[in-house]
Amino acid sequence: MSLRRTAAAPTLLLLAVAGVCWAVTVDRMQGMNMGPGTNLGGLGWFAVVWLTMMAAMMLPSLSPIAVASSRIADGQLRTTARSAAFAAAYLLPWIAFGVLAYTVIQGARSLELGFLAWNRAGQYLAGGVILGAALYELTAAKRTCLLHCRDSQLLRRRPGLGGALTMGVEQGGFCVGCSGALMAALFALGVMSIPWMLVIATLVAVEKLLPVTVTTIGSTAAVLAVLGAAIMVVPTRVPWLTIPMPM
């Protein structure tokens, strides 16, 4: 069986799952507040929504690495099963990231710090988070994690479904290190905003799939820097940004 045929089924599976998750996410976001500081709901509800969002946003750019992780399997069925196990385990670190973000945000809200309202320090906090994400793009940690997200030769291949699960968790950890700052920017922009989800997912895919890494990292940093500064200075001119109502 050729490598191209071996790669086709796992890739199509991940793309199909991502497509379904996009459809579910769009349906769930109908009528919701899509601006910064939106109500995240209960932890259980948020965790399910976050998992669906991460599957939609991250699985398409995971396909090349997932296929590489499955090539030690014999037979198309085993290859597809290993890719599915790898992808499922890959999402676990992202769930942990989402739960941590939820805990931090809800903890801050419980303190009822009025100065964090959007019409006071809120827009500067949101812009600062995005500027922080831009700076992180230029760090050595970002470059190291991105290299692991792009180069299948760095995978420590392990046999069996158990090995696929372990590899998936490891790869998910590197991808959180690579794209976690972009997800923090998404929270600052409005975690329930479909347009901003698409923008962040596009930036993730560009960094992980395009061949020129230095240019793509620099471009992402520039986009985030301009966006963060615009939210601080002229938030009403930022496209797709839902300005929270003053309290």
Among residues 65, 72, 63, the alpha carbon closest in space to that of 159 is found at: 72
The whole-angstrom distance between residue 122's C-alpha and the CA centroid of its chain comes to 23
Among residues 159, 157, 187, 155, the alpha carbon closest in space to that of 173 is found at: 155
Distance in angstroms (rounded) separating the CA atoms of residues 2 and 140: 37
pLDDT surpassing 90 at residue 222: yes
Q: How many CA atoms lie within 13 A of 222 on its CB side?
A: 6
| Residue 237 neighbours by CB under 8 Å, 6+ apart | 230
pLDDT surpassing 50 at residue 28: yes
Distance in angstroms (rounded) separating the CA atoms of residues 60 and 175: 13
pLDDT surpassing 80 at residue 10: no
Backbone angles phi, psi at 142, to 5 degrees: -60, -45
Residues 93-147: tens digit of each pLDDT? 999 999 999 999 999 888 888 888 888 889 999 999 999 999 999 999 999 999 9
Residues 47-103: tens digit of each pLDDT? 999 999 999 999 999 988 887 776 655 555 577 788 889 999 999 999 999 999 999
Distance in angstroms (rounded) separating the CA atoms of residues 204 and 183: 10
190, 34 in Cβ contact below 8 A? yes
pLDDT at 94: 98
pTM here is 0.90
